[in-house]
Structure 1
Amino acid sequence: MIIKKHVSIIIGFLFFSSLLLACGGSVDLSDSVSENERSQSAGLYGTVTDNAGAAIESATVILIPADDINTARLDIADFSPDATDDEPLEDLVNDTTKSYQTTTTDVNGDYSFASVTEDSYFIYVKPADTDTSHLPGGSLCRISRQLTNTGLNFDIEISTNPSAAATYVGSSTCLTCHSDKTTIYKTGHFNSLHVPASDSDMQDVSAFDDFNDALDKFNGTTTVYFYDYDSTRGFDKYKTAETSSGTVSFRIRLLKTGDTYQMEFTNVKNASDPNNGIVYDVDLAYGGAVYKQRYLTRLAVSHAVLPLQYQQEGSESNSPRTRKVWRDYHGSYWYNETTQLFTTPANSKSFDNNCAGCHFTGYSLGGDSTNGYAATAVSDTDGTYDFDADGDLDEINTGCEVCHGPGSEHVASGGATVALGLLTPERESIVCGQCHSRPKGALGTDVPDNADGDMMRPGNSRSYFLENHTNGTQYDTSSSDLYTDVDQSSKSHHQQYTDFIRSSLYKNNEQLVTCSNCHNMHGTDNFRSLTATTSDDALCTDCHPDKTTVTEHTEDKLGTSTDMGAVCIDCHMNKIAKTGAGRQGNGSYWENDVTSHLFSVARKTTSIVAGQTVSDSLMSIPYTNSCTSACHDSDLSDD
């Protein structure tokens, strides 16, 4: 059960500078009480202002009974813009069959309910239909509160919204004033694209010990062989190894010339290939913070992902092909098995139109499949790389304005910026969720851009996103990226939101949780910028104080204790999905490297059933992962 104590957004906690992200915290309910001179003996009253301090006129304050939240688990098959159960608060507000207690703010932003029916409510603010400068939700919409008809006094804060004319200015401009947020330099978001071995002024990879490990391989002697082509597989149609094996089609030698990292391609099957020996510069390292790294090179119009994926936890001795040091990443885009000639990826396969949207700040896509696609990002003097070759560095990583909206109006006059913690929880979550899920975008690629080639600005609803930023048929992941267990657990990476919105944390009667309850987007010293530690269960027990003793909890649920020091996430956040090599589990079993965000316990029978063959593809569960050697060492086939 989610406890009301852990408050993501409360007045007093969130009266921050307008570029601050919502963070977790414990705040007493009395912190929301206004100290203004108004009073009344019954009902509920207060003042609605925005995060710039302006009073909000003609806004509707709505009391949503907590028991009206539809807590039924979402089914991926039902995802659509027309769904009526995937936005916990807004679906109820938009339901014309519902009749709630409401009142409207006056010119001073004041509101008043003469009386209230005593119950538990989420207090929601809906700006006037003509007010495009503010966003719905408010500082009291995430925690259900037991209201009494005694003249309670609660002020509410809502978020401003940049106008459609606002433009991007780059994170270095934001951080000039908000210098206390430069901890963000150490996050994966600011380091997803990197000039090899070179930090920009807004990058710091010191938190990732193995970030640049692959670069040591660019020594002129490391060669990766691509062999035993299999057309039936996905992106890794070739096996790879640092020693020649099987039927080799081509090989890549890793070298460094001066400060430039390079890959030399050799056609083993056809030495007469006119492109035999071609060398591509590695202009950008793509990833490195989360178990793998890929590499980009600039072609005529677009950038392309070179066909090698380095996996920090991989080993050449691992037998599953997906768990070695190197993995083929679309080698078939670079080598034609029919002609036995090197080629380059089709325009439709460029990084620009398939990937960049979920990494760039101020992203926009131009071009077409005939002439090539060209992505652009906001120029920034402290940017990472001149992506569009116009002479200016660009912010090609996930910067401040991806979450807070374009900042030109805020910079010019202290104007509007999106305060995520003041949005409805579903609107905050979709900011992260647009890229931590797997829909097909409006242009048919994995980038959730709209028909104009732009990413969604923060502050929009989930239904808006599904309507305008998908292709209208695939609203999230396909079945191939899910396991077949009853929970449909995610198999592939960047599907945390896909999991999360199907959990009870997203839809419940007490506290509507968002990503920022657990992750501080500006960075912390904790793993994955968590708001608290997991090794002592502090992150979990802040909201679940009745579960502070894990041994008692497991004895209650399972009839057995956990004397080996298990913590909450060992069972409730198994590493079920995969992005890199993963790691050895128990015996011939493997565990993966991306944490499930369903928060349910993966049962033994969901992955291990009588007669099933042990394989690399089985879902990792506590009975087959690294916990097994300590605790779960009984017969794995037992129920």
Structure 2
Amino acid sequence: MRRYVWVFLLTVAVALPALAGERLVRSHLPQGGQSAVAASIQSLGATLTKLYGAEATTGKVYVGSEFCIACHQEYASWRNTKHNQALKKPMPEFSMVKGKGMVNDCDGNGSDDFAQGLDFNTINSVFDAYKPNAPKLSLENGTYFITIGDLKMPVAFIQGGTGDWKQRWGVRIPVTDTPTGLSADIYMSPIQYNEKTKSYVLYNASNWYDSNNQPIWKAGMTSSQITQHKGSYSKNCIGCHATGIRELKQNAAGEWVFKGYVAVLEQEPSTFDYDGDGNNDLVNIGCEACHGPGSAHILAGGDPSKIVNPETLTTQEANEICGQCHIRVASVPNGTHEWPYRDDIGKSWIPGSGERLEDYYHDHGGYWPDGTTSKAHHQQFEDFYRSSKPTFQFHPVRCTECHDPHGTSKHQIRTEIRDGNLVIPTANDNNTLCLACHATHGPFASITKEEVAAYGENKTKIGEVVAAHTHHPYGPERSMGLSRCSKCHMATMASSAVAYDIHSHTFEVTPPEKTLKYQDQGGMPNACAVSCHATKVNSFGLGYDPSISTWNADFDKKLATELMKYLGPTGFWWQVSLTPQNAPDNPNYQPPAEND
């Protein structure tokens, strides 16, 4: 057994009573200082077998991350990661707590807009066209509601609200033909709250309102009548927001029904009863989403051969673990779902299975007109494999070299990198994350790893070397990010909540020539403009971009022309010319849906 045997046994002992009943209840891990309690692995196996049948002992059952943390306490930080905070049970006690509750507060008074009863019919907003049937928010006796027309819908879960992007809400629709009076599936509401701007935007409003701006769904409908709703969370999204799919199918009425694995030890609000069977489910991304189902590993006393260790996988296999969610795709062969999945046989891709992730999806990404630069969010995996990084012959790069799956820093950026016995503190905003690897090579050959590790003492020298490469002053930690590596090589080309809030992962310094090349398709951003010159500094006397959302206006063409004097075919600083290989024409380009 593992080195934390007593913690494991104590956890099992606590888990067994929760598992024993017909209806499982949420349990909590015990606090430190309590005595170890002996419990048999055989008893746990018997209980899992009761729940899942023979499947429990074959290594296919997901048991939850708290079982993992009982032994691997060094990874308890996972609880506070975005992986564990994407979906949440709506609970008033967590109102205005980032990562746990409602954070929508458009008037900035410290109270969430549900608690205040925000009625979009009484204010000026993006919902003006839908008055008098614009949404109404409310909180009644501990339950959150969204009302559209005569349809009052309980909020089933909160999505997002971690401080960086946005918050959305999934609802159940009242119907007349189910025991609960509510839909079996959960549907995304038409409301999105952007955290940075503290404002609301429409989210696929056409799923809720017809061409005359009238509500599509009304009180008194049956389950079969709402099956045409295009905002099904179980059909479109759940594969990347749950740890394991126990069952996914359409019920007799035609609604999609997701059945998850039981959350025995996971704590609310990061777990809730998604499938309506009375037990909380393993929603969000837990340990087993990356390491594979854990039942066999636990029942074998922590046998390392019965769990996936990404460090032992090839670079391709390890990166596919991240790629299974950080990708915009359609399932195969029918394109039914929007994550890697065999929709003909109901099979998920499992890390470490030896199967290729690409056999589980078709690319369905949203790209700028060059066909390679992502315009839509959660496409980092496809971006990454358009770069040379993961296939670099001398050092194939893994996602986890820059990102810590268990970390809680912004974007889960690694806060240190170890090079032998040398520990290098790292951050994106001062370039140490990049220099931890790139020092001693190429333009940075004169910088040692030891100097990067002692960045504060060597900032002047490092700044001189980097500035010689960028031809810009050195001030990466300033708000403009002068000479910050990621401002050029990972410019924010895609959008999630607001325009250009997602970094590209192709590592291409997208040249201004692309803005001009694709004018007949609306143009596209370039790294120089989107990171700085369009909105932050008036370097060429053109003023500032009056419309950052478009790239074919007169300003955009003039700015790109000026920038090409420095970064272009005859650039004064960098000579870059487009070729069919790195900028393919894409006459069939279709932009992604707004706020997808």
The one of 269, 282, 288 aligned to 2:161: 288
Contact (CA 8 Å) 2:512, 2:526: kept in 1 or not? no
1:441 maps to a residue whose letter is S
Shift of 1:248: 4.7
Write out aligned runs for 1:459-474 (5 A): 459-461=352-354, 464-467=356-359, 469-470=360-361
Shift of 1:342: 3.1
Could you say what secondary structure the match of 1:379 adopts? coil
Could you say what secondary structure the match of 1:440 adopts? strand
Contact (CA 8 Å) 1:550, 1:568: kept in 2 or not? no
Contact (CA 8 Å) 1:357, 1:364: kept in 2 or not? no
C-alpha separation between the residues in 2 aligned to 1:456 and 1:197?
A: 33
Deviations 1:312-345 (Å, cap 9, x if unpaired)?
A: 1236xxxxxxxxx222222222233369453146
The one of 502, 512, 516 aligned to 1:604: 512
Contact (CA 8 Å) 1:607, 1:621: kept in 2 or not? no
Contact (CA 8 Å) 1:362, 1:376: kept in 2 or not? no
Indicate the residue corresponding to 2:465 in structure 1: 552
Indicate the residue corresponding to 1:72 in structure 2: none
Q: Does residue 595 of the first structure (1) align with residue 532 of the second (2)?
A: no
Write out aligned runs for 1:183-332 (5 A): 183-197=77-91, 213=105, 216-224=112-120, 242=125, 245=128, 248=131, 250-266=133-149, 276=150, 278-289=151-162, 290-298=164-172, 299-314=182-197, 325-332=199-206
Shift of 1:388: 1.5
Return 538-547 or 562-571, whichever deviates more: 562-571
Indicate the residue corresponding to 2:207 in structure 1: 333
Could you say what secondary structure the match of 1:307 adopts? strand
Could you say what secondary structure the match of 2:262 adopts? coil
Flag the 1:435–1:525 CA change in 2: closer, same or farther, 3 A: closer
Write out aligned runs for 1:69-80 (5 A): none
Could you say what secondary structure the match of 2:407 adopts? coil
Indicate the residue corresponding to 1:482 in structure 2: 367
Flag the 1:412–1:345 CA change in 2: closer, same or farther, 3 A: same
Could you say what secondary structure the match of 1:264 adopts? strand
2:171 maps to a residue whose letter is T
Indicate the residue corresponding to 1:523 in structure 2: 407
Could you say what secondary structure the match of 1:466 adopts? helix
Shift of 1:609: 6.8
Contact (CA 8 Å) 2:368, 2:375: kept in 1 or not? yes
Shift of 1:265: 1.3
The one of 373, 398, 412 aligned to 1:514: 398
2:238 maps to a residue whose letter is A
Contact (CA 8 Å) 2:489, 2:509: kept in 1 or not? yes
1:216 maps to a residue whose letter is D
Deviations 1:153-191 (Å, cap 9, x if unpaired)?
A: xxxxxxxxx995432111111111112211011111100
Deviations 1:340-386 (Å, cap 9, x if unpaired)?
A: 45314626641112100111012234332753111122211225101
C-alpha separation between the residues in 2 aligned to 1:500 and 1:624?
A: 20
C-alpha separation between the residues in 1 aligned to 2:518 and 2:133?
A: 42
Higher helix share: 2
Indicate the residue corresponding to 1:358 in structure 2: 240
C-alpha separation between the residues in 2 aligned to 1:348 and 1:333?
A: 6
Indicate the residue corresponding to 2:312 in structure 1: 422
C-alpha separation between the residues in 1 aligned to 2:369 and 2:126?
A: 36
1:482 maps to a residue whose letter is Y
Shift of 1:195: 1.4
Shift of 1:629: 6.2
Q: Does residue 574 of the first structure (1) align with residue 456 of the second (2)?
A: no
C-alpha separation between the residues in 2 aligned to 1:211 and 1:609?
A: 42
Contact (CA 8 Å) 1:490, 1:576: kept in 2 or not? yes
C-alpha separation between the residues in 2 aligned to 1:631 and 1:551?
A: 22
Provide the TM-score with structure 1 as the length reference.
0.60
C-alpha separation between the residues in 2 aligned to 1:579 and 1:512?
A: 29
Q: Does residue 622 of the first structure (1) align with residue 528 of the second (2)?
A: yes
Contact (CA 8 Å) 1:364, 1:453: kept in 2 or not? no
1:294 maps to a residue whose letter is R
Contact (CA 8 Å) 1:167, 1:407: kept in 2 or not? yes
Deviations 1:564-619 (Å, cap 9, x if unpaired)?
A: 7431111111111111013xxxxxxxxx1011111121222222579899x9x842
Provide the TM-score with structure 2 as the length reference.
0.64
What is the root-mean-square deviation of aligned Cα atoms in Å?
A: 3.6
Indicate the residue corresponding to 2:338 in structure 1: 446
Write out aligned runs for 1:325-404 (5 A): 325-337=199-211, 340-343=214-217, 344=226, 346=228, 349-368=231-250, 370-381=253-264, 382-383=266-267, 384-404=271-291
Could you say what secondary structure the match of 1:294 adopts? strand
User: Number of paired residues?
Assistant: 427
Could you say what secondary structure the match of 1:435 adopts? coil
C-alpha separation between the residues in 1 aligned to 2:464 and 2:286?
A: 42
Shift of 1:528: 2.7
C-alpha separation between the residues in 2 aligned to 1:247 and 1:357?
A: 32
Shift of 1:397: 0.6
Flag the 1:552–1:174 CA change in 2: closer, same or farther, 3 A: same
C-alpha separation between the residues in 2 aligned to 1:197 and 1:212?
A: 14
Deviations 1:3-28 (Å, cap 9, x if unpaired)?
A: xxxxxxxxxxxx999xxxxxxxxxxx
Return 619-628 or 527-536, whichever deviates more: 619-628
Write out aligned runs for 1:54-203 (5 A): 165-197=59-91
C-alpha separation between the residues in 2 aligned to 1:192 and 1:199?
A: 18
Higher strand share: 1
1:173 maps to a residue whose letter is F
Contact (CA 8 Å) 1:526, 1:533: kept in 2 or not? no
Could you say what secondary structure the match of 1:598 adopts? coil
C-alpha separation between the residues in 2 aligned to 1:288 and 1:596?
A: 22
2:436 maps to a residue whose letter is D
Indicate the residue corresponding to 1:492 in structure 2: 376
Q: Does residue 410 of the first structure (1) align with residue 297 of the second (2)?
A: yes
Write out aligned runs for 1:26-45 (5 A): none
Return 501-510 or 344-353, whichever deviates more: 344-353
The one of 457, 464, 469 aligned to 2:350: 457
Flag the 1:620–1:513 CA change in 2: closer, same or farther, 3 A: same
1:223 maps to a residue whose letter is D
Shift of 1:627: 6.1
Contact (CA 8 Å) 2:126, 2:200: kept in 1 or not? no
Structure 1 unaligned runs (5+)? Answer: 1-14, 18-161, 227-239, 267-275, 316-324, 583-591
Shift of 1:539: 0.8
Indicate the residue corresponding to 2:433 in structure 1: 539
C-alpha separation between the residues in 1 aligned to 2:104 and 2:126?
A: 22
1:499 maps to a residue whose letter is D
1:303 maps to a residue whose letter is I
Flag the 1:387–1:630 CA change in 2: closer, same or farther, 3 A: closer
1:571 maps to a residue whose letter is C
1:633 maps to a residue whose letter is S
Could you say what secondary structure the match of 1:622 adopts? helix
C-alpha separation between the residues in 1 aligned to 2:356 and 2:473?
A: 47
2:434 maps to a residue whose letter is C
1:491 maps to a residue whose letter is K
Deviations 1:83-125 (Å, cap 9, x if unpaired)?
A: xxxxxxxxxxxxxxxxxxxxxxxxxxxxxxxxxxxxxxxxxxx
C-alpha separation between the residues in 2 aligned to 1:222 and 1:394?
A: 31
C-alpha separation between the residues in 1 aligned to 2:330 and 2:518?
A: 37
1:287 maps to a residue whose letter is G
Indicate the residue corresponding to 2:451 in structure 1: none
Flag the 1:199–1:427 CA change in 2: closer, same or farther, 3 A: farther
